């Protein structure tokens, strides 16, 4: 059965920061209304709604948020509204479900979103909740947390490939440089290498500035068939590759601790679907929850050979003016990481890049990629977007 081409005709994204007084509903509603306005559609045209969220139950005691948002937005109530969850990859799952609704002809106009409220909670509660995405029966009982998870991968990557602590720190420096221009970013100040290197140790070898900040925020996108997109916008962005695969649920099960197998498998599928390869990508937003993650991702996606990701950062290849600009938004490290909202937040940044309207524009960007990972890499997604 032939699938229809699918376009993004509108996007919305709140700042990813500490949004005091905002609720899940208010943030999600703001991002969705922005996307609806950006697309120039009427609310009653939305035929299905998917939202990604991870921790509203554990932190706020609120689940079943999809219908709350549909009601808050004033959408038709005779549409399905579904919450999806895949840890920090949740809203990319929402995007993919929406993509399939449109590609298969089940719907013409679909709204997808992500939302998370993470600030204002005691650190211990927050850490416990975030750790809920690891396998509690295996990694969880060891006391492993995500900084520890990525610290272990960093250690092994240094051991096997000679990656240095400085190279990892340079990821943070670059992404903070990028976020200065991004009004949606949590941190808009530059940090120098010394500041990163001398910041407080979190989980060896990772220091404070190697770790992304928890944030509040919401993101949204409107999808429709490519053939209808020009009715709504002069700058539709086409989804030409999209894939989601499953990884190992615990670190100890992985064959090696220097890569995420599900990043590799989802990239393979997304590139095959697009008929492209890594070298065709002009700009990428990768899941840099910790500095070694961006290096590992950049290798797993094929931008650099395995083990060469650290060197690439050192050589400036991933800067905005480099060979493959990575995280010109500031990434999770500096834009922020409201986990369930992050994936469609990445898509927002790439859409604006491909429309030529980003505050930290990559010159002439035509094809962009987002990579979003959840848990122990147990959920990975890759999305490839192209401007018309």
Active site residues: 88, 337
Rg (CA), the chain: 19
Pairing of strands 110-116, 48-52: parallel
Find the part of the chain contacting a copy of itself (CB under 8 A) among 54-62, 166-174, 284-292, 305-313: 54-62
344 binds a copy of itself (CB under 8 A): no
C-alpha triplet 235, 239, 244: angle, nearest 5°? 150
Contacts of 100 (CB under 8 A, 6+ apart): 106
Place of tokens 């961006």: 294
322 binds a copy of itself (CB under 8 A): no
Q: Which is nearer to a copy of itself, 293 or 334 (CB)?
A: 293
- Least distance from C-beta 169 to a copy of itself, angstroms? 29
User: Pattern of binders to a copy of itself over 1-20, x per CB under 8 A?
Assistant: x--x----------------
Query: Which one, 160 or 253, has the nearer CB to a copy of itself?
Result: 253
The single residue among 28, 378, 384, 385 that binds a copy of itself, judged by CB under 8 A, is: 378
**Residues of span 289-308 touching a copy of itself by CB under 8 A:** none
Residues in contact with a copy of itself, counted by CB under 8 A, come to a total of: 65
Nearer to a copy of itself, 69 or 362 (CB): 69
**Cα torsion angle, 297, 346, 71, 25, sign:** positive
Binding mask 126-145 for a copy of itself (x = CB under 8 A): --xx-xxx-xxx--x-----
Least separation in angstroms between residue 203's CB and a copy of itself is 20
Torsional sign, CA 148, 340, 127, 15: positive
Tell which one of 5, 37, 71, 120 touches a copy of itself (CB under 8 A): 71
Q: Which two tokens stand for residue 385?
A: 């977007």
| Contact flag: residue 84 with a copy of itself (CB under 8 A) | yes
Q: Closest approach of Cβ 82 to a copy of itself, in Å? A: 5
Stretch that binds a copy of itself, among 75-83, 192-200, 201-209, 233-241 (CB under 8 A): 75-83
Q: What DSSP letter does each residue of 221-277 carry, written as one string?
A: EEEEEHHHHTTT-SS-EEEEEEEEEE--SSGGGSS-SSS-HHHHHHHHHHHHHHT--
**77 vs 200, beta carbon nearer a copy of itself:** 77
User: 20: buried, middle or exposed (CB in 10 Å: 19+, 13-18, 0-12)?
Assistant: exposed
Handedness of CA 143, 146, 151, 152 (dihedral sign): positive
Quickly list DSSP for 313-379. HHTTTTSTTSSS-B-TT-HHHHT-B-HHHHHHHHHHHHHHHHTT--TTPPTT--EEEEEEEETTTTE
379 binds a copy of itself (CB under 8 A): yes
Which helix or strand (DSSP H or E) is residue 299 part of? helix 291-300
285 - beta bridge partners? 370
Site residues (vs a copy of itself, CB under 8 A): 1, 4, 23, 25, 49, 54-55, 57-58, 60-64, 66-68, 70-72, 75, 77-87, 93, 96-97, 100-101, 104-106, 128-129, 131-133, 135-137, 140, 243-249, 253, 261-262, 265, 269, 374-375, 378-379
């Amino acid at each position: 059965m032939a699938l229809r081409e699918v376009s993004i005709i509108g996007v919305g994204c709140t700042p990813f920061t500490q949004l005091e007084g905002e609720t899940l509903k208010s943030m999600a509603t703001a991002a969705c209304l922005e996307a609806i306005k950006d697309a120039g559609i009427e609310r009653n045209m939305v035929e299905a709604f998917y939202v990604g969220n991870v921790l509203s139950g554990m932190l706020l005691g609120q689940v079943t948020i999809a219908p709350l948002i549909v009601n808050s937005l004033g959408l038709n109530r005779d549409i399905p509204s579904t919450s999806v969850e895949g840890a920090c990859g949740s809203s990319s799952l929402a995007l993919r479900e929406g993509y399939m609704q449109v590609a298969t002809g089940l719907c013409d106009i679909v709204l997808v979103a992500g939302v998370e409220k993470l600030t204002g909670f005691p650190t211990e509660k927050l850490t416990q909740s975030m750790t809920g995405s690891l396998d509690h029966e295996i990694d969880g009982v060891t006391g492993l947390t995500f900084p520890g998870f990525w610290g272990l991968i960093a250690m092994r990557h240094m051991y096997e490939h000679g990656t240095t602590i400085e190279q990892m720190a340079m990821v943070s420096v670059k992404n903070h440089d990028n976020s200065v221009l991004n009004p949606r970013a949590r941190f808009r100040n530059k940090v120098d290498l010394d500041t990163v290197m001398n910041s407080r140790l979190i989980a060896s070898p990772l220091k404070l500035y190697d770790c992304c900040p928890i944030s509040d925020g919401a993101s949204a996108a409107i999808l429709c068939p490519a053939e209808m997109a020009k009715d709504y916008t002069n700058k539709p962005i086409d989804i030409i590759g999209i894939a989601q695969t499953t990884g190992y649920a615990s670190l100890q099960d992985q064959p090696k601790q220097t890569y995420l197998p599900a990043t590799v498998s989802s990239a393979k599928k997304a590139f095959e679907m697009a008929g492209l390869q890594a070298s065709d990508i002009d700009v990428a937003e990768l899941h840099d929850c910790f500095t070694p993650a961006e290096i590992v991702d950049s290798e797993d996606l094929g931008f650099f050979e395995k083990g060469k990701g650290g060197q690439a950062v050192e050589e400036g290849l991933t800067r905005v003016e480099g060979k493959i600009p990575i995280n010109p938004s500031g990434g999770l490290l500096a834009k922020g990481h409201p986990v369930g909202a992050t994936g469609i937040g990445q898509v927002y940044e790439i859409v604006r890049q491909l429309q030529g309207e980003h505050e930290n524009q990559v010159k002439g960007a035509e094809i962009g990629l987002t990579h979003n990972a959840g848990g122990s890499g147990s959920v990975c997604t890759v999305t490839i977007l192209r401007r018309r």
